[in-house]
Amino acid sequence: MPVLRNLICLIACLLGLAGCGPEPQQVKEKLPLQVFTALPTTVNAPANNPITQEKIALGRLLFFDPVLSGDKDVSCATCHHPDQGYAEFRDISIGVNGSGLGSKRTFKSPNSIPFVKRNAHTILNTAFNGMDPYGRYQPETGEMFWDNRVTGLEEQAVEPILALEEMRGLHYEKDQILSEVVQRLRSIPEYQDLFEEAFGPGDITAGKIGQAIATFERSLITTNSRFDQFMRGDRDAISSAELEGFELFKKVGCGNCHNGPMFSDYQQHVLGVPESKKLSLSDSGPAEDFAFRTPSLRNLRFTAPYMHNGSFTSLKRVLEFYEDISGGREENPHVSKDQYDPLIRKLNIRVRDMAAIVSFLNTLNDEDFSREIPESVPSGLPVGGEIE
Ligand code: HEC
Ligand code: HEC
């Protein structure tokens, strides 16, 4: 009895019950629930990695210390700098053998290191990755990266150290670099002390490096944008033009994927974003299907240029792209018509609605986060790496 089954599922969905949805094939046909609320003002941490001030302080030093990279030239802050909203104002990243920050960063010559093929996310609010429309999430299983290839901030934190073009460089193999980095930290007395203060007695390990950095990242949340204030009851926090933009955002169908407090369903969708002109090979993602994760729409002020490869320099350009693909046009010749997400074809966006939608998106910016940069790091290396 499909009618009865659908009715039961509808009731279950309305009640927010998990695991009682229709078959995966049918999910695509049904429109997702567009639920929007303010972000919670506190974060969850995994049971085995509670948040402490000692861990935050240690994680901050590690985040800015290029000692974590093979050639001691790149730190996490190289591509996620507080002055750039913990993201960077450039399309695709330059890690090893680069110098400068953001749009001014270039490769040194000679150079044999490739570009990182993706656009750097902001670290802000990554503590909430994986959040469902109702604000529920498990910190261990929060999806990370444009292709969700890793879950949880702890696990994510060692990935850039392993990646040749981000931090590892040419002088260490993938299976050597973590023990090399651990040895380096063990030989620095200040780190020995800081790790003991944070984790109690015991050796420094790669696992503890990940836990400290993840804890620092959990301190980087922005939960008081004008949109959050509005959702918590301050009706004057956003203007009537911005409110109209919010209504259009929902009506047009943006909220079918960008929903919940993070404005992301954390699912992957095929949009057929044009390839980066800087890359010689097409980036189709690990499943080679051109699906990328819906990014959060919070703090777009800092995540420009937009999309997984930074192809679009402005929000206006993003919206024009949506208008194109919803009308059945394509901008990436490698993606065939039948691969596009059906929800994209359902978008109903008009040029005259675009300015209002952009003004609404700007209510999701929040500049209230720590921009603290350590004066020095325990290795004695330049803070942040070669970013001058
Ligand atoms: C060379 C530039 C570079 C460096 C160095 C770097 N990152 Fe990233 N980061 C990126 C890029 C690019 C992405 C997106 C990659 C992808 O999705 O495939 C990213 C993604 C992330 C994400 C995922 C965010 C999300 O919403 O999914 C986190 C968290 C993160 N980086 C933390 C770190 C930490 C911690 C370090 C240091 C250990 C670091 N990054 C070093 C460029 C960099
Ligand atoms: C089918 C799901 C879906 C719909 C509907 C959708 N988006 Fe997206 N959005 C995505 C995905 C997936 C990406 C990343 C695509 C990529 O990089 O390949 C994205 C990227 C973006 C970005 C770039 C963010 C950044 O930091 O790089 C913005 C802005 C955006 N969408 C806004 C909108 C607006 C406004 C609408 C409505 C007109 C909309 N989206 C409709 C899934 C969707």
What's the CA gap between 371 and 351, in Å, rounded?
Answer: 37
275 pLDDT higher than 60: yes
Average pLDDT over residues 197-212: 98
265 pLDDT higher than 90: yes
CB-based contact 148:293 (threshold 8 Å): yes
Average pLDDT over residues 207-236: 98
- Residue 81 contacts by C-beta under 8 Å, 6 or more apart in sequence? 88, 101, 102, 384, 387
Report angle CA 361, 364, 367 to the nearest 5 degrees.
130
- Residue 373 contacts by C-beta under 8 Å, 6 or more apart in sequence? 64, 77, 82, 383, 384
- Using CA atoms, how far residue 173 sits from 16, 62, 161, 176, 385, in Å, is 47, 21, 11, 5, 21
- Using CA atoms, how far residue 308 sits from 90, 218, 230, 242, 362, in Å, is 12, 23, 30, 27, 20
Query: Residue 177 carries which side chain, given as an amino acid letter?
Result: I
20 pLDDT higher than 80: no
User: Is ligand 1 within 6 A of the CB of residue 78?
Assistant: yes
Average pLDDT over residues 79-87: 98
97 pLDDT higher than 80: yes
- Closest ligand to residue 314's CA: 2
CB-based contact 72:170 (threshold 8 Å): no
165 pLDDT higher than 60: yes
4 pLDDT higher than 70: no
User: Is ligand 1 within 6 A of the CB of residue 156?
Assistant: yes
Half-sphere exposure of residue 73, counting CA atoms within 13 Å on the CB side? 21
CB-based contact 74:95 (threshold 8 Å): yes
What's the CA gap between 204 and 198, in Å, rounded?
Answer: 11
Percent of the chain with pLDDT over 70: 93
Ligand 2 closest atom vs CA 119: 27
User: Is ligand 1 within 6 A of the CB of residue 93?
Assistant: yes
**From ligand 2's centre to the CA of 372, what distance in Å?**
31
| Best mutation site among 74, 156, 276 for ligand 1 pocket (most ligand atoms within 8 Å of CB) | 156
The tens digit of pLDDT for each residue in 284-296 reads: 998 999 999 999 9
Question: What's the start-to-end Cα distance of the chain, in Å?
Answer: 67
- Closest ligand to residue 87's CA: 1
The whole-number pLDDT of residue 30 equals: 73
Which residues sit with their C-beta closer than 6 Å to ligand 2?
252-254, 256-258, 269, 271, 273, 292, 294-295, 297, 300, 303, 306-308, 315, 318-319, 322, 341, 343-344, 347, 349, 357
- Residue 223 contacts by C-beta under 8 Å, 6 or more apart in sequence? 38, 39, 40, 41, 366
- Closest ligand to residue 160's CA: 1
- Kindly calculate the radius of gyration of the chain based on its CA atoms and give it in whole angstroms: 22
Nearest to 254 by CA among 39, 34, 30: 34
232 pLDDT higher than 70: yes
The whole-number pLDDT of residue 32 equals: 82
**From ligand 2's centre to the CA of 294, what distance in Å?**
6
- Closest ligand to residue 269's CA: 2
User: Is ligand 1 within 6 A of the CB of residue 145?
Assistant: yes
Average pLDDT over residues 140-167: 98
What's the CA gap between 155 and 19, in Å, rounded?
Answer: 26
218 pLDDT higher than 80: yes
Which residue CA neighbors atom 39 of ligand 1 most closely? Answer: 76
| Best mutation site among 276, 318, 347, 362 for ligand 2 pocket (most ligand atoms within 8 Å of CB) | 318
244 pLDDT higher than 70: yes
7 pLDDT higher than 70: no
**From ligand 2's centre to the CA of 138, what distance in Å?**
24
The whole-number pLDDT of residue 241 equals: 97
123 pLDDT higher than 50: yes
Task: Report the mean per-residue pLDDT for the chain.
Answer: 93
The whole-number pLDDT of residue 29 equals: 58
The tens digit of pLDDT for each residue in 292-325 reads: 999 999 999 999 999 999 999 999 999 999 999 9
CB-based contact 52:41 (threshold 8 Å): no
Which residue CA neighbors atom 32 of ligand 1 most closely? Answer: 157
What's the CA gap between 274 and 294, in Å, rounded?
Answer: 16
**From ligand 1's centre to the CA of 80, what distance in Å?**
7
What's the CA gap between 158 and 160, in Å, rounded?
Answer: 6
The tens digit of pLDDT for each residue in 131-143 reads: 999 999 999 999 9
